[in-house]
């Protein structure tokens, strides 16, 4: 099993550009999460999903959209990137009935 | 923000010494977890302690939980250079989500 994978690993955008980050998991997990990690801030939840076709806002959702059309995939979109969205983005998943989350390797995004 | 706090922010020790890091949180919880993050990598789950437990062990790890003080500690005994990483506590706040602390950076010198 590959676990949780994230695409791409690195990306540089110009202000105003759009992009989509892909998270995929092959563990048949119901729950999926998108976080951002900034220096000194720990991880902050952007959006999450409790199952295919459902999404919900986390602590810092502004400027991001998500979709969960397939159970194994959770997409994070930036419609108009801003320098404040420069960060490392992590995806995680977990099965229903347990509390442990499994993390992907991260995507380092720089917005110029 | 409901984000928890960890103390100290950074810790440097020699191999063989014990490392203790503390976590304080703000909401009621079902459980508290500790995760480890090596530089440039994703987080890896270390241990989970439930709200009705006071202490839990796993190998060289010992976790305590005091729900009355809303605090937890992680002790790593006989540390190794390979333990160098950042350590985060995370609480569930009785929800489907986790709230992470700000982390402790541990450096273990050979």
Report the gap between the CA of A18 and the closest CA in chain B (Å).
Answer: 24
Over the range A30-66, which residues count as b (16 or more CB within 10 Å of their CB) and which as e? Answer: bbbbbbbbeeeebbbbbbbbeeeeebeebbbbeebeb
Show Cβ contacts of residue A106 under 8 Å, excluding neighbours closer than 6 positions: A6, A9, A37, A88, A89, A90, B40, B41, B42
Contact call for A90 and B42, based on CB within 8 A: yes
Residue of B41, B92, B100 lying closest to A42 (CB–CB): B100
What is the mean pLDDT of the segment spanning A80-97? 96
Helix, strand, coil share of chain A (percent; to 5): 5, 50, 45
* A85 DSSP 8-state letter: G
Residues of chain A positioned with their CB less than 8 A from the CB of B41: 105-106
B71 with B24: CB under 8 angstroms? yes
Residue of A101, A102, A105 lying closest to B98 (CB–CB): A101
Dihedral (CA of B27, B36, A35, B50) sign: negative
Contact call for B45 and A92, based on CB within 8 A: no
**pLDDT for the residue B3:** 64
Report the gap between the CA of B58 and the closest CA in chain A (Å).
Answer: 15
Contact call for A100 and B88, based on CB within 8 A: no
B4 with B103: CB under 8 angstroms? no
Residue B35 has pLDDT above 80, yes or no: yes
Contact call for A43 and B92, based on CB within 8 A: no
CA distance B19 to B35: 15
Give B94's pLDDT tier (boundaries 50, 70, 90): confident
pLDDT single digits (tens) A27-58? 999 999 999 999 877 899 999 999 999 999 99
pLDDT single digits (tens) B20-34? 999 999 989 999 999
pLDDT single digits (tens) B54-82? 999 999 999 999 999 999 999 999 999 99
Report the gap between the CA of B55 and the closest CA in chain A (Å).
Answer: 18
């Amino acid at each position: 099993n590959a676990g949780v994978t994230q695409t791409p690993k690195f990306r540089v955008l110009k202000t105003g550009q759009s992009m989509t980050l892909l998270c995929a998991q092959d563990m048949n997990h119901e729950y999926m999460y998108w976080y951002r990690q900034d220096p000194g801030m720990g991880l902050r939840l952007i959006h999450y999903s409790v199952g295919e076709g459902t999404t919900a806002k986390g602590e810092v959702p502004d400027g991001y959209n998500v979709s969960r059309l397939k159970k194994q995939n959770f997409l994070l979109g930036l419609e108009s990137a801003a320098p404040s969205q420069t960060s490392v983005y992590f995806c995680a998943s977990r099965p229903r009935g347990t509390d442990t989350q499994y993390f992907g390797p991260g995507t380092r995004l720089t917005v110029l | 923000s409901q984000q928890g706090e960890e103390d100290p922010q950074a810790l440097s020790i020699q191999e063989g010494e014990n490392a203790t890091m503390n976590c304080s949180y703000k909401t009621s919880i079902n459980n508290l977890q500790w995760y480890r993050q090596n530089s440039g990598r994703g987080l890896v789950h270390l241990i989970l302690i439930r709200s009705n437990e006071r202490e839990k062990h796993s190998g060289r790890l010992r976790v305590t939980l005091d729900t009355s003080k809303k605090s937890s500690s992680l002790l790593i005994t006989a540390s190794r250079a390979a333990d160098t990483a950042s350590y985060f506590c995370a609480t569930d706040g009785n929800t489907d989500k986790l709230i992470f602390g700000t982390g402790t950076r541990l450096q273990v010198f050979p």
